[in-house]
């Protein structure tokens, strides 16, 4: 399972990744909608 996290606040994004990586094999974090499109394409 992959999880894509979109959060513009770096500290919040890092915390969410830290928590999710304990349960999910692949957590990808980006900071904007533009980066979401780059990851998905």
Mean pLDDT by 10-residue block, N- to C-terminus, for the chain (41 residues)?
96 96 94 96 91
Q: What is the model's pLDDT at position 29? A: 97
Query: What is the residue range of 14's domain?
Result: 2-40
Q: What is the model's pLDDT at position 6? A: 98
Which own/partner contact pairs does 30-36 have at CB distance under 8 Å and 24+ positions apart? 30/4, 30/5, 30/6, 31/6, 31/7, 32/6, 32/8, 33/6, 35/6, 36/4, 36/6
Q: Would the pTM of this model clear 0.95, i.e. be above it?
A: no
As for how many domains the chain has, the answer is 1
């Amino acid at each position: 399972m992959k999880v894509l996290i979109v959060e513009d606040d770096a500290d919040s994004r890092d915390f969410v990744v830290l928590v999710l990586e304990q349960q999910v094999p692949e957590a990808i974090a980006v900071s904007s909608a533009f980066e979401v499109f780059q990851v998905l394409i």
